[in-house]
Amino acid sequence: MFDLDRWQEIYHVLRKNKMRTFFTAFGVFWGIFMLVVMMGSGNGLRNGVTEGMKDFATNSVFIWSQSTSIPYKGLPRGRNFKFNNDDLDALRKEVPEMEHIAPRIGVNSGQGDNVIHGLKGGSFSLFGDVPDWCKIDPVNVVQGRLLNDKDVLDSRKVAVIGNRVQEVLFKKDENPIGQYIRIQGVWFQVVGVFKPKSQNINFGGDKQQTIFMPFTTVQRAYNFGNSLDFIAVTAKKGNSAASVGDKAIKLLKRRHTIAPNDDQAIGNFNLEEIFQQIGSLFMGIDFLVWLVGTGTLLAGVIGISNIMLVIVKERTKEIGIQRAIGAPPIKIISQIVMESVVLTTIAGFVGLTLGVGLIQLINMAMTTNVESGQMFKNPSVDFNMAITALTILIISGAFAGLIPARRAIKVRPIDALRYE
């Protein structure tokens, strides 16, 4: 049954000392406000990173040659070596757990413009690739097509350019498809324009300013022989990237006469492990958010408990009168607990509402300024988590009121009436 007198009494008690009530409630408000904002920010960071990496083959390993650090079979330490086309054939034959294998060659651009079209020129990242590379690091085709197996098999002089390359070398309304550009002194026909799906991760620089050419064409046109810079491989379903990468590295060590325990000779980058580390990082962030937020909330609840003790002390005589005229202890306890719960609930609800509102404003601002590759996307707060936090806060507020309530009923009526 709704007791208007009780609610009026709660209102007058909390209104009696406005500044004290405000600062007490502010601790709870700030705690849940910060918890909501931190949860939303954490989710925004998680969404941005996940969105930026979702198109990558997460079961990829990138392998490149360095220099030996251990003498082996009469060969000195510090020996430089290069992977070659025969290594690719050996990997395909002896590591059946691999799904894709993509060699890559980087063309040293030197100084000045390395790509020219008519009177326009620019300096861009140049790579010799195979079609499988775009299965590991996908891009969006804007015009034309990507490299195909025929381009590689026939060593065609064709190129696929990034969207920024198009902007620099061609006029705004000019179609680059079918036109020729000079790359490091060699003429190539443009067959496609692409733009990256994400800018969060880049292998070899800004993909928007990158040009892809057939792997075999680059080897011949720029005197690389049959050497290559590095190899990217992916594991078939049911195999881990780590096991496939280890098997590939062991094979390459045998082929290039490298000590089995020479871990410096061949560098590698396991994208699967990076994804797992990112997952663990966000678990740690979630834990830290809850730890800081809960600690702040706890401080606010303790503040409410302390202020309720002060209020009970101020109302000792009033409580004594209630006890003297026969008020049951449960009524006094419920009155004090309700005051604590009301204060906690109002402060918590305001903090929750403003926190969610701020997150929504940030989300709206980011939606109107969308950029490819942003590391912070769609900050949001899970509704169930927010309600759970508010519920826990209200329950904590009830417990915060129990301590002063229990003290209140322990005071003997005669002593309370004498209290000044």
Question: Which pair of tokens denotes residue 165?
Answer: 């390359």
277-286, 350-359, 406-415, range with greatest mean pLDDT:
350-359
Higher pLDDT, 28 or 109: 28
Q: pLDDT band for position 6 (50/70/90)?
A: low
Q: Which of 359, 334, 358, 346 is nearest to 393 (CA)?
A: 346
Strands 266-270 and 125-129, bridge-based pairing: unpaired
Which residues, in sequence order, are bridge partners of residue 65? 266
Q: What is the pLDDT of residue 363?
A: 78
Tell me: the pLDDT tens digits for 44-64?
A: 887 777 766 666 777 889 999
Phi-psi region at 204: left, alpha or beta (left = phi > 0; alpha = psi -120 to 50): left
Mean pLDDT of 278-305: 80
% pLDDT > 90, the chain: 40
Question: Which pair of tokens denotes residue 245?
Answer: 């990468």
Tell me: the pLDDT tens digits for 154-171?
A: 999 999 999 999 999 999
Q: Is the pLDDT of residue 204 over 70?
A: no
Mean pLDDT of 302-315: 73
Mean pLDDT of 148-156: 95
Strands 115-117 and 180-183, bridge-based pairing: antiparallel
Helix residue spans in 115-162 (DSSP H):
133-136, 149-153
DSSP letters for 259-271: -TT-SSSEEEEEH
Given a contact cutoff of 8 angstroms between Cβ atoms, the answer to whether 95 and 251 are in contact is yes
DSSP character for 137? S
pTM: 0.69
Tell me: the pLDDT tens digits for 96-108?
A: 999 999 999 998 8
How far apart CA 115 and CA 181 sit, in angstroms, is: 7
How far apart CA 14 and CA 232 sit, in angstroms, is: 67
Tell me: the pLDDT tens digits for 339-352?
A: 778 888 888 889 88
Q: Which of 139, 135, 137 is nearest to 149 (CA)?
A: 135
Q: Which of 98, 76, 73 is nearest to 88 (CA)?
A: 98
- Tell me the chain's radius of gyration from C-alpha atoms: 34
Q: Is the pLDDT of residue 190 over 60?
A: yes
Using DSSP, state whether 99 is helix, strand or coil. strand
Mean pLDDT of 176-199: 92
Q: Is the pLDDT of residue 372 over 50?
A: no
